[in-house]
Amino acid sequence: MIFQKRSLIIVFTFIAVCVLAFSFWWWKYQSEAEDNFSPKPKGFNRILLPKNEYRPLPDSFPYFFEYSKEAIIRPDSSHLAERYWIHVIYPKLGKSEIQITYKNISDNPTQKLAELIDDSHRLAAKHLYRAEALKYYEYKNAQNLPVLAIGFEGEIPSHLQFYTTDSVKHFLRAAIYFRTANDNDSLAPVIDFVKKDMLRMIATQKFK
């Protein structure tokens, strides 16, 4: 009897030790899991970007450039829109787009060009109150014509704009816009992707 009692005591003691050891291990595991958990910031979206590949703009326009195969061309439907104004829309990339406006200045090039350049800077200035930084860039298009680009940084809808002209007949302006409520930190890969497309647009752009 004494032997049986001792055996039972040993068994119960062993079980109790195992339960306590498991409880301690489970508590430690849960604590480490909570410490290592990092919640995703609000508005975070996982964005898988395609390759930057391009196609030519149709021949029906008085200007030319290459644009992304991920984009579609839509005519500008605003009440102020004119012929040859278009939106280069990225339906799968955060509702981003490049807005293109075009003007024929041949009937009064000096006056119209001055007005259009002033308008371009005025439109760009609208973003200054939210922009953290502004930079000017000078490029050449496919016809070796000067291109002035304006870049912005910060929580703003437009990060890069440019305009170019041959000074006698054609004037073209383009601006990137992102119509989304997400923070630009989470959209940074898309912003960079569309910026590359705009630089390709500049490099291949020409007037007819």
The reported pTM is 0.75
pLDDT digits (tens, 9 = 90+) for 26-71: 454 455 544 444 444 444 456 678 889 999 999 999 999 999 999 9
- The CA distance from 113 to 166, in Å, is 10
Over residues 166-172, the mean pLDDT reads 98
Domain ranges of the chain: 1-38, 54-207
What confidence score (pLDDT) does residue 102 get? 99
Q: Where are the beta strands (DSSP E) in the chain?
A: 54-56, 63-64, 66-68, 72-75, 86-90, 96-104, 133-140, 146-153, 160-165, 170-178, 206-207
**Structure tokens given for 186:** 């989470």
Q: Which fold has domain 54-207?
A: Protein Transport Mog1p; Chain A (3.40.1000)
pLDDT at 127: 74
Give the model confidence (pLDDT) of 98-149 as tens digits: 999 999 999 999 999 999 999 999 988 887 777 777 889 999 999 999 999 9
Question: What is the rounded average pLDDT of the residues 67-79?
Answer: 96
Beta-sheet strands, E only, within 9-159: 54-56, 63-64, 66-68, 72-75, 86-90, 96-104, 133-140, 146-153
52, amino acid identity: N
Q: How confident is the model at residue 74 (pLDDT cuts 50, 70, 90)?
A: very high
Region of poorest pLDDT, from 53-57, 120-124, 152-156, 189-193: 152-156
Residues 5 and 11: beta-carbon distance below 8 Å:
no
How far is the C-alpha of 143 from the C-alpha of 67, rounded, in Å? 17
- 67-76, 130-139, 162-171: lowest mean pLDDT where? 130-139
Q: Residue 30, Cβ neighbours under 10 Å: how many?
A: 10
**pLDDT for the residue numbered 33:** 42
Looking at residue 183, what is its pLDDT? 60
- Residue 93's pLDDT is what? 85
Predicted pLDDT of residue 10: 47
